[in-house]
């Protein structure tokens, strides 16, 4: 299957493309032509110019749309062009070209990043209360995708990422160099409020699950929040096991909660001099587990296991 990857030179693309290339034929696109020579698998294009899109989509069966402007340093017009206009035009062109699956990398900022939704844990049904133009423009991109799913039959999977920032010990190929890992940094990433992914293997697994997901007609229940099963939206992040009654303690003293769910967390924290930050927001990723079969494979338990291996000399 030939897959178009937009924003291929960004942080997501740099870590995702090597993993998708193991299974699919990739065509990559990005505006930063100076970073790569255009060739058979790389085409430079401006996604806000519809006349450039048919060339990108020729022979393509699936699209992974990563290209976006991120939260800071841009004008409202720039956010709208890159995140709303470009996404809608690409969805339109994909529907016209007969693309089988359109995977859109969206964000939890589309509803408020856990700060404005009004309840915890935040899930896919959260009210739309973006707190910045980045979130607002990404939400409009989602709505553009939904329009072409509902009216043209484009099969859309929206991945609302809780964030992604590769930890220094995590390699782009999709594994962690545990021998070189900074356990304090890994532990903090594993419990960071917002639940962002930090292991490229988890990033790759999420997008592979979205590309492989069964045809919407095979799903049952209220899968699509819009009422149209051609459009599906999932929160993608680390899977916290917390219960509603943990919320207050997570804000005031998260280590006690962490030690209950991840035995050994307190021992490791004391040995490393690590003090976890208050966890004032978290997200429910159960829909992605249930329908996509995705669950992040690296969490605080893995960090504790490595801490114990080091303590026992198993290195």
pLDDT of residue 315: 42
Q: Is 262 inside any structural domain?
A: no
pLDDT of residue 115: 82
Whether the pTM exceeds 0.75: the reply is yes
Q: Is 32 inside any structural domain?
A: yes
pLDDT of residue 39: 65
Q: Is 16 inside any structural domain?
A: yes
Q: Is 314 inside any structural domain?
A: no
Q: Which of 45, 40, 14 is nearest to 29 (CA)?
A: 45
| Cβ pair 109, 130 in contact under 8 A | yes
Q: Is 232 inside any structural domain?
A: yes
pLDDT of residue 40: 60
Quote the domain boundaries for residue 58. 2-166+195-236
DSSP class of 288: I
CB-facing half-sphere around the CA of 124: CA atoms within 13 A: 22
Q: Is 37 inside any structural domain?
A: yes
Domains: count for the chain = 1
In angstroms, the CA 162 to CA 139 distance is: 14
Beta bridge partners of 65: 6, 104
pLDDT of residue 227: 39
Per-residue pLDDT in tens (0 to 9) along the chain, 315 residues: 999 999 999 999 999 999 999 999 999 999 875 555 566 688 889 999 999 999 999 999 999 999 999 988 899 999 999 999 999 999 999 999 999 999 999 999 999 988 888 888 899 999 999 999 999 999 999 999 999 999 999 999 999 999 999 998 988 888 899 999 999 999 999 999 889 999 999 999 999 999 999 755 544 433 433 334 589 999 999 999 998 889 899 999 999 999 999 999 999 999 999 999 999 888 999 999 999 999 999 999 999 999 999 987 554
pLDDT of residue 36: 55
Q: What CATH number has the domain bearing residue 207?
A: 3.40.50.720
Q: Is 60 inside any structural domain?
A: yes
| Cβ pair 295, 235 in contact under 8 A | no
Q: Is 268 inside any structural domain?
A: no
Tens-digit pLDDT profile for residues 84-143: 999 999 999 999 999 999 999 999 999 998 888 888 889 999 999 999 999 999 999 999
């Amino acid at each position: 299957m030939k897959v178009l990857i937009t924003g291929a030179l960004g942080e997501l693309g740099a870590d995702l493309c090597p993993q998708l290339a193991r299974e699919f034929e990739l065509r990559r696109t990005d505006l930063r032509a100076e970073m790569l020579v255009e060739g058979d698998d790389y085409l430079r294009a401006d996604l806000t110019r519809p006349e450039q899109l048919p060339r990108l989509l020729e022979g393509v069966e699936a699209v992974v749309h990563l290209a976006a402007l991120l939260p800071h340093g841009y004008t409202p017009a720039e956010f709208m062009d890159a995140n709303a206009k470009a996404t809608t035009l690409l969805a339109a062109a994909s529907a016209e070209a007969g693309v089988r699956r359109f995977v859109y990398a969206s964000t939890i900022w589309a509803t408020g990043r856990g700060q404005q939704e009004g309840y915890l844990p935040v899930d896919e049904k959260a009210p739309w209360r973006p707190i910045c133009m980045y979130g607002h423009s990404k939400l409009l991109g989602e709505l553009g995708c939904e329009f072409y799913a509902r009216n043209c039959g484009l099969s859309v999977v929206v991945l609302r990422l809780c964030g992604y920032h590769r930890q220094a010990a995590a390699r782009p190929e999709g594994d962690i160099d545990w021998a070189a890992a900074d356990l304090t940094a890994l532990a903090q990433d594993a419990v960071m409020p917002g639940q962002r992914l930090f292991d490229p293997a988890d990033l790759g697994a999420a997008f592979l699950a979205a590309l492989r997901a069964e045809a919407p007609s095979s799903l049952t229940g209220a899968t699509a929040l819009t009422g149209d099963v051609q459009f599906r939206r999932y929160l993608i992040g680390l899977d916290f096991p917390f219960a509603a009654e943990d919320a207050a303690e997570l804000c005031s003293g998260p280590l006690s909660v962490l030690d209950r769910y991840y035995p050994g967390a307190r021992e490791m924290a004391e040995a490393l001099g690590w003090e976890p930050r208050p966890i004032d927001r978290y997200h429910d990723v159960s829909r992605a587990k249930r329908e996509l079969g995705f669950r992040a494979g690296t969490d605080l338990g893995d960090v504790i296991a490595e801490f114990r291996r080091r303590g026992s000399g198993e290195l």
